[in-house]
């Protein structure tokens, strides 16, 4: 039923249907991945209603893939292909959801994993740059308010390292971008 709601673009109904289950642990992996995608799309449209549960479903899906729990009816070749495409996408999605939740450090962790799994995806670097920039902005604001001394010096070093991460991530994104409309806008 939830899958049918997603196909009909009735996202609220899909999430409400899943919420009625005693535990989402037994949900089909493909449905979990579609719910995460729907949650990310809702978040992009500034609807944060399903953000936290989408993060939960993303974690469940990642655990299932990393535990090599192949869905029924999927052959080994299909599973290998599915894992190779879906796992980096799930990490990217969790990074975006964490960023929208105001958790840039968590976003960085997920996006680094997405980069590791899909190093040629320029959007992974773009989002990683955005998350690192958010952490940099927070650290630089905190730095401005600290008195001189060793703690300020340590935070200054951390802030400098974060700025380097921002530059590095955006440089990779620019180098890898192929000129798609989205990438052109980001440039």
Whether the model clears a pTM of 0.85, i.e. scores above it, the answer is yes
First-to-last C-alpha distance (Å) of the chain: 40
Q: Which of 144, 103, 96 is nearest to 124 (CA)?
A: 96
What does the pLDDT look like over 92-149, one tens digit per residue?
999 999 999 999 999 999 999 999 999 999 999 999 999 999 999 999 999 999 999 9
Burial of 93-125, coded b for 16+ CB within 10 Å and e otherwise, reads: bbbbbbbbbebbebbbebbbbbbebbeebbbbb
What's the pLDDT band for 6 if we cut at 50, 70, 90? Answer: very high
Per DSSP, the three-state class of 73 is coil
What does the pLDDT look like over 168-181, one tens digit per residue?
999 999 888 877 77
């Amino acid at each position: 039923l939830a899958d049918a709601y997603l196909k009909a673009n009735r996202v609220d109904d899909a999430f409400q249907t899943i919420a009625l289950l005693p535990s989402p642990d037994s949900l089909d992996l493909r449905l979990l991945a579609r719910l995460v995608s729907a949650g990310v799309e809702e978040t992009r449209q500034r609807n944060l209603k399903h953000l936290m549960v989408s993060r939960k479903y993303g974690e469940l899906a990642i655990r299932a893939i990393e535990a090599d729990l192949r869905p029924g009816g999927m052959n080994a070749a299909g599973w290998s292909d599915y894992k190779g495409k879906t796992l980096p996408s799930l990490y990217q999605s969790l990074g975006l959801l964490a960023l929208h939740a105001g958790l840039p450090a968590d976003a960085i962790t997920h996006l680094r994993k997405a980069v590791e799994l899909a190093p040629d995806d320029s959007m992974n670097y773009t989002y990683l740059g955005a998350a690192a920039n958010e952490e940099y902005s927070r650290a630089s604001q905190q730095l401005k308010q600290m008195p001189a001394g060793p703690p300020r010096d340590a935070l200054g070093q951390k802030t400098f390292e974060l700025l380097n991460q921002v530059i590095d991530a955006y440089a990779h994104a620019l180098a890898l971008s192929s000129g798609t409309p989205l990438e052109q806008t980001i440039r």
